Amino acid sequence: MTPRPIALRGFILDAPTRHAARGIPDGAILIENGRIAARGTFSEISKLPAAADAEWLGGPDCAVVPGLIDIHAHIPQYPFVARIEESLLPWLKRYIFPAEKNFRAAEARAFAPFFFESLARNGTTLAVLYAAIHEDSAHECFAAAEASGIRAIIGKVMMDRHSYGDLEPDKILPVSIEQTRRLIQRWHGAAGGRLEYAVSPRFAVSCSAEMMRAAADLAREHGTWVQTHLSENHLEIETVRALFPEFPDYTSVYEGCGLLGPKTILGHCIHLSPAERAKLRASGSIIAHCPTSNLFLRSGTMPWDTIVEDGIPFGLASDVAGGPELSMWRVMRCALESQIARSFSTPCRIPSPAEIFHQSTQGAAETLGKGGQLGTLDPGKEADAVLLDLSEIIPSV
Ligand code: GUN
Ligand code: ZN
């Protein structure tokens, strides 16, 4: 039986390009069989034959936007938001590694459904996520994602240096690869393609070159995503320089291990040199821009205008718990404010709100190869949309 059509009424807002947003003040979209069948004014849509049978949701006090996209956050870290430390490495050691160590299967089973519900409540319908190091715990995260109906790219972190895992040093690499392979086989492409796997070597500080090479091989073999962190903090960058003196810079470490490419998502990328940015551009690698985290952990401000000029694909991200909130509205606002703050000391182009909204919707969808499927409210796309009751949320957005 074909499902009953759904019609969403409200201020229809999306941003197909980074140059402008589009709005229909009292508009509507009609959804048939999970796809957007029509977009227009309320008066146009309500005259369509299918609209008479449709379940109507929303109204003049509502807004309809594409589902928001968060391309970098950590599931086990959400209960540990707002833990102040002077910078990244002490924060990881004091709060984050202990939190992830304790995020075993039982904790994941109890917590992950709440995490995915929280994403939905914040309007996020596609998220790229890290689980903890434990295989069974990552499995529970995938199961919760499947049950929630969200679209997600998830991976279990891999670390073989300063690891909080409980394996003997000589077992870490082969076991981590085997665990990752099993998770890929079970979950990559599951839930009708809504779930995908990201091979997730944490960052070069906590991974040997052997582990990063093996991770890259595994991702290539199975066609999965890769996610890691790059150039977030000065002490981190110095540590990588000391660990890998044979490479000229941090980005070259990942390049040398085969980790760069169009399915690689690199968190932060604040302090890159022109040569490093050229490597990202040439490889098609994607930046996850995490403005709330970059301020909270005092890491710096990513040069938005330079990244755009260089043509490096990027999307916005909450980086919970480096960023204190899952809300992509807060992340978008912080992206704007942090570029304004940056402009006080460095002359730079400040992105418009429409450009920032684009990078959290269609722009992010394009970087993830899903721009034809979601990201705007155009007819033909999947009905990946959020209905906001503005009378409920003002002034908290
Ligand atoms: N670098 C390595 N691991 C992490 C993490 O969990 N969060 C952030 N913000 N940076 C990292
Ligand atoms: Zn992160």
Q: Residue 239's pLDDT is what?
A: 98
Q: Is the C-beta atom of 65 inside 6 A of ligand 1?
A: no
Adjacency order of strands within the sheet including 35-41: 35-41, 20-32, 6-17, 55-66, 385-389
C-alpha to C-alpha distance for 339 and 302, rounded to whole angstroms:
8
Among 92, 130, 235, name the best residue to mutate to test ligand 1's pocket (greatest count of ligand atoms within 8 A of Cβ). 92
Residue type, 54: A
> CB under 8 Å to 172, separation ≥6 — which residues?
159, 160, 163, 165, 211
Any ligand 1 atom below 6 A from CB of 319:
yes
Cα distance between residue 188 and residue 179, in whole Å: 13
Which of the residues in the chain have pLDDT under 50? none
What's the 293 CA to ligand 2 centre distance in angstroms? 9
From 163, 202, 293, the mutation candidate for ligand 1 (largest count of ligand atoms within 8 A of CB) is: 202
Q: List Cβ neighbours of 89 (8 Å cut-off, separation of 6 or more).
A: 205, 233, 235, 236, 239
Give the whole-angstrom CA distance, residue 41 versus residue 21: 16
Going by CA atoms, what residue is nearest to atom 9 of ligand 1? 322
Q: Is 72 in the pocket of ligand 1 (CB under 6 A)?
A: no
Confirm whether pTM is higher than 0.75: yes
pLDDT at res. 236: 98
Predicted confidence at residue 350, as pLDDT, reads 98
Q: How many A from CA of 321 to the centre of ligand 2?
A: 8
Rounded to the nearest whole angstrom, what is the distance from the C-alpha of residue 73 to the centroid of ligand 2? 6
CA 64 to chain centre: 21
Q: Which atom of ligand 1 is nearest to the CA of 203?
A: 2
Q: Is 88 in the pocket of ligand 1 (CB under 6 A)?
A: yes
Listed residue (12, 68, 2) closest to 33, CA to CA = 2
pLDDT of the residue at 90:
98
Ligand nearest to the CA of 97: 1
Q: Ligand 2 centroid vs 74 CA: distance in angstroms?
A: 6
Atom of ligand 1 nearest to the CA of 77: 6
**Number of neighbouring beta carbons within 10 Å of residue 362:** 25
390 Cα: distance to centroid of ligand 2 (angstroms): 31
- Degrees, nearest 5: CA angle 112-115-121: 145
Ligand 1: nearest atom to the Cα of 206: 2
Residue 391: per-residue pLDDT: 86
Closest residue by CA, ligand 1 atom 8: 322
Q: Is 132 in the pocket of ligand 1 (CB under 6 A)?
A: no
In this structure, the strands spanning 124-131 and 68-74 are: parallel
Report which of 269, 187, 193 is spatially closest to residue 228, judged by C-alpha positions: 269
Q: Which has the closest alpha carbon to 172: 162, 185, 182?
A: 162
The predicted structure's pLDDT at residue 373: 98
pLDDT score, position 71: 98
Under 8 Å between Cβ of 124 and 147:
no
What's the gap in Å between 92 CA and the centre of ligand 1? 7
Q: What pLDDT score does 84 carry?
A: 94
Q: Ligand 1, closest atom to CA 319?
A: 9
What is the model's pLDDT at position 228? 99
Position 394 scores a pLDDT of: 62
Which residue in this structure is represented by tokens 């490479």? 247
Closest residue by Cα to atom 7, ligand 1, is 322
pLDDT at position 149 is: 97
Contacts (Cβ under 8 Å, ≥6 apart) of 1: none
pLDDT of 395: 63
pLDDT of amino acid 396: 55
